Amino acid sequence: MTAWLATNLVAAALLPPLLLVILLAAGLVFHRRRPRLSMSLILLSTAALYVLSTPWVGGVLLKTLEISAPVSPDSLQNAHAIVVLGGGRRVDSAEYGSDTLNGISLERLRYAAFLHRASGLPILATGGKPGGGQLAEGRIMQHVLHSEYGLPVRWVEDASLTTWDNARLSAAPLKQAGVGRIVLVTHAWHLRRAVPLFEAQGLDVIPAGIQFSSTRIDSILDVLPTPAGLRDSTFALHEWLGILWYKLRSFFA
């Protein structure tokens, strides 16, 4: 078992929906011997599933991770390069006949292309092959930008497995090219974890987030459980868990 797989298995057990399944299963196991504990676990897992599945709670949790407003065109004038972080792949995609980017990566890539056209800044694409597959995220992003957007990619980092790796492995080629200030493109909820990692490598970072969250309740649908609500809550809790893990890793390093 690889370290990447082990880390992700532990994370899955600490996050919904698997954590809620574990709590519910524990409640059923203790049903006869500890009826009060059993009922408490069942109610806790059920209530948590409902709350975390509402779009409003998902939005509130994601909002706690946002550290900046949308990037302004003026701020791009002081930058030297755009760095776009890979967000995942679809391995062995049937319709493409090979690995391809998932929706999260494509959203980031589209915004990086938008910023490149607005500024002319060179692009670094970073992402390896977490979970296996044939093509690294960085290489797929390079191909998509070239073949579908008609844009060049100056640097490709294709060995990283984590955001920590993204920062560590991207810093060297950037510094060799004299790059000191970057525009970091990723989802707004990912910036709180990603920005400090790149800053720790000696780079000045201009956060360029996408998909900023809303905390408004616009209709009754915002407080009803949906798959998208649970996804957003899981994304947020995953980020906070990752931030905690990186702090512990730095402390004991």
Q: Tens digits of per-residue pLDDT, 95-121? A: 999 999 999 999 999 999 999 999 999
> What is the domain count for the chain?
2
When the pLDDT of each residue in the chain is averaged and rounded to a whole number, the result is 95
**Alpha-carbon gap, residue 194 to 207, rounded angstroms:** 9
Structure confidence at residue 73 (pLDDT): 86
Mark whether 200 and 234 lie in a shared domain.
no
Mark whether 20 and 113 lie in a shared domain.
no
Predicted TM-score (pTM) of this structure: 0.95
Residue from 48, 58, 62 nearest 20 by CA = 48
In a domain, 98, yes or no: yes
Mark whether 14 and 111 lie in a shared domain.
no
Structure confidence at residue 23 (pLDDT): 96
Mark whether 88 and 194 lie in a shared domain.
yes
Q: What is the pLDDT of residues 143-194, one digit of tens each?
A: 999 999 999 999 999 999 999 999 999 999 999 999 999 999 999 999 999 9
Q: What is the pLDDT of residues 130-151, one digit of tens each?
A: 988 999 999 999 999 999 999 9
- DSSP codes joined into one string, 118-176: HH---EEEE---TT--SS-HHHHHHHHHHHHS----SEEE----SHHHHHHHHHHHHHH
**Alpha-carbon gap, residue 67 to 209, rounded angstroms:** 9
Structure letter (DSSP) for residue 73: G
Mark whether 191 and 123 lie in a shared domain.
yes
**CA–centroid distance for 150 within its chain:** 26
Q: Output the domain CATH number for residue 132.
A: 3.40.50.620
Half-sphere exposure of residue 99, counting CA atoms within 13 Å on the CB side? 19
**In this model, does residue 1 exceed pLDDT 60?**
no
Contact between residue 38 and residue 30 where contact means Cβ atoms under 8 Å apart: yes
Structure confidence at residue 100 (pLDDT): 97
Contact between residue 170 and residue 162 where contact means Cβ atoms under 8 Å apart: no
- DSSP codes joined into one string, 86-102: ---EEEEETTTTEEEE-
Length of the chain equals 253
**In this model, does residue 74 exceed pLDDT 90?**
no
Domain around 37: 3-64+222-252
In the chain, what's the furthest Cα-to-Cα distance? 67
Structure confidence at residue 253 (pLDDT): 63
In a domain, 215, yes or no: no
Residue 81 sits at φ, ψ, to 5 deg, of -165, 160
